Each structure stands twice: as C-alpha cells, then as structure tokens.
Amino acid sequence: MSVSGIYGRVLYRGRIVETGVEFENGRITKINKRVKGKKLRGLILPAAIDVHVHFRDFEEKHKETIESGSLSAIHGGVCLVVDQPNCKPMVDSAVRYFRRMERASKLYCDYSLNLALTNSNWRKIGKILREVGKRYFVPAVGEVFLEHSSPELQVRYDVLERVSRIHLLTVHAEDPEMVDNCSPNFKCRPEKAETLAVEKCIKILGRGHFCHISTVEAAKLISNTSFTCEVTPHHLLLSTRDYGRLGEFVNVNPPLRKKPLLEHLNSFDVIASDHAPHTPEEKKDGAPGFPGVETTYPLLVSLIKDGVVGIGAVEMLTSKPAGIFGFDKFGYGSIEVNNLANFAVFDLSREERISARRLHSICGWTPYEGFKAVFPSEVWLRGEPVVPGDVAVGRKLEI
C-alpha cells in the first residue's frame, strides 16, 4: 500500500489555499495543513479533462495516434480525454468500439471514447450502447455532425429526434443547408448556420450538449435551457483577423469568427480543445481542424497569471466537464477527499512562448506559435508524478 502526499498552494473548493494533500493508492485521503508531503512550487491545480479530442490512429496514423495524442495531452496537464469517433474507420458499432479501445494500449493519460451516430446505425444505437456499456463507460453519443464533408457521418434532424432519450448526445451544430465548402472557410460557414442548428436541436432534443459553440448568439440561446456547451481555445483567442498570420492553415469547423470570444467566457460551460490534428500538407489542401490538447490549459494559466481571467475558469476544464459527462463518479474533476490524486502543477514564473517543435502531437504545427503559455512543470496521475518522465500509466474508463 503506497501512502504519500504533496504540499503547496492548492486550488481547493474554488480558492488557492496553502495546504497538504495526502493520498493512498491513487486516491486523496486527507487535505489539511498538517499533511507532510513533497513541497511543490507553483499552483497545484486539478489535472484537466478534455472532452473533445480527435486522436485519429488506424488509417490516419500519419497525423496522430492514440499514443501520441495521449502523450500530448499529459504534457498539457490533461489527465483524461474523450476521443471522438469520426475516425477512419468510424466507431459506429460495438466491434469497432472494442477494436479502438484495444488499440488504446499505451496511454499516457486516461482515455474514453464516444460512440458515433449515423443515419445507418441509429436503429441499433441502444443495443450497441448496452453491449459496449458492459465493459466501458461511454461518455456520450457524439460528436453528432449535422453537416460533414463525408456524407456517411452526416446525421438528419429526424434521426436525432428518435434517439434523443437514449444517452447524452453531443452535437456539432452547423445547419447543412447553410454551409458550403470553400477556403478560407469562414466565408461560407456563416454564424447563422450555427444559431439555426442550435435552435432546431433545442426544440427537437430537449436535452444535450453542444460541441465548440463559436457565436455569442448561440451561447445565449443555450443558456436559457438545460443544454450545456463547450467553447474552444481557438474561438476564445483567435478570429478571422488571424487569417493574415495563418493563411491556408486557417480552416476549422465551425470557422473562426470576426471577434474572439474571450470576453464572453462566462457564457459557456466547458472549455474543450477540439484537438483535430492534420499535417501541414493536408492543411494546405484545406483540411479543417487545429491541434490543441497540449496548449489549452497552458494558454488558460497564462491568462490567469496576467489577470485576464479569474482562477474560477479552471472549473471549465475540470469540475464542469466532470459533472456534465459523469466523470465525477470516477473521482475526476477536483482536488477533494476520495477523488483521484490527479494534479497539474504550474509554476507561474516559468512562462514561455509556444513552439510546435516542443509539442508532442505528430501533426507538427500549432495555430498558437509564439503565444504566451505556462506549461505544467509536473503532472500527477493517481498519486504518481508522470511528467516530467513520460510514464505510460493511463487507463481506459472501464466499468
């Protein structure tokens, strides 16, 4: 039985307090000043949960694998990810779900996987969920694409209506009628496509979660309902003005908008990266998506350091996603007695400039080149320091 502890400035129940945290077999047993543990420099925050990543693998190993994605995640202070099933092959059956979970054998952070909904598999979705659910915790059905360049991934509104009660749905809300394909894509994917899709989904579904909302109007519509939503770091920090800097790398769905959303941070529930790696060659061909799992928390901590956002924003990467997706039951999301001893430690005096060369994604580029960030100096998973050190002790969320 291993017992140990840490001591320092800990984010505990919304405030930074100087205290000790003791843990045993990976779970926190005590939080108080008398706990004697390894003294850590900097802020000891809960490690993050990124509920929206695309870790590719299989036929897309050249841009990311589950292993490389999880390595990137842990270096960004992320202890748990939710991978999306729009990979090749897509995860639309129990057999494919199990195959992808088996592929996730070398993990640096903990790993969970959503199940795809399509116009073809919706009649079986309840049965698939029951079968997969005997072994794994499935965070959600999603991300559900109302519009996608691959027709087999695009889901009709009437299909959504039929499955809305089965499980939590996470929706990529852009109305197919209002979206065209062009580059730069912000010229043909208008804001209205998002607000219209959000309006329709709210009426049809009754409950659910919206992925990467990119407009203030849609966030307002959602805030009057029981639905929850994500915002990405790129929609918070970037805008169409970054086209000059990013050039043909600018495409992402939903697209960058005229203004960054940072001043509206409080209108959203969760920050999620929508880590969607493509190689520079693919980006030059117009592929939509930005990598982000490793830079999201470091960018946020830099904003906290500069006083641009408050420490409360950390909840959007920790306790909020834990509550919405049910990860709190497993002990993720906050530094509390009985929870997992998962910490990301940030030394605010070690701010640096982001450089793709030092990131761990295979895709080899970042839209945040040169941005200020505070990367975690240490990351602890279940009571063990895993960064620095790159220890592959991540687990799958088994039932």
Is there binding between residue 235 and Zn ion (CB under 5 A)? no
Distance CA 147, CA 75 (A): 32
Is there binding between residue 52 and ligand DOR (CB under 6 A)? no
From 25-33, 125-133, 137-145, 321-329, span contacting Zn ion (CB under 5 A) = 137-145
Contact characters 194-213, Zn ion, x per CB under 5 A: -----------------x--
Is there binding between residue 46 and ligand DOR (CB under 6 A)? no
**Nearest residue by C-beta to ligand DOR?**
289
Among 42, 54, 92, 271, binds ligand DOR (CB under 6 A): 54
Candidates 240, 137, 262; CA nearest to 190 is 240
Site size for ligand DOR (CB under 6 A): 8
Candidates 70, 35, 78; CA nearest to 54 is 70
Distance CA 311, CA 318 (A): 12
Q: Quick one: how far is CA 19 from the chain centroid?
A: 29
Is there binding between residue 172 and Zn ion (CB under 5 A)? yes
Q: In this structure, are residues 63 and 93 in contact, taking their beta carbons and an 8 Å threshold? A: no
Candidates 9, 36, 23, 51; CA nearest to 380 is 23
Q: Which is nearer to ligand DOR, 282 or 336 (CB)?
A: 282
Which 246-265 positions form the footprint of ligand DOR (CB under 6 A)?
A: 252-253
Q: Which is nearer to Zn ion, 143 or 147 (CB)?
A: 143
Residue 211 CB, nearest approach to Zn ion (Å): 5
Is there binding between residue 229 and ligand DOR (CB under 6 A)? no
Residue 86: CB partners within 8 Å, gap ≥ 6?
54, 116, 143, 145, 148, 150, 153
Candidates 315, 307, 313; CA nearest to 332 is 315
Does residue 274 have an active-site annotation? yes
- Residues within the interface to Zn ion (CB under 5 A): 143, 172, 211
Which residues are near ligand DOR by CB under 6 A?
54, 86, 172, 252-253, 276, 288-289
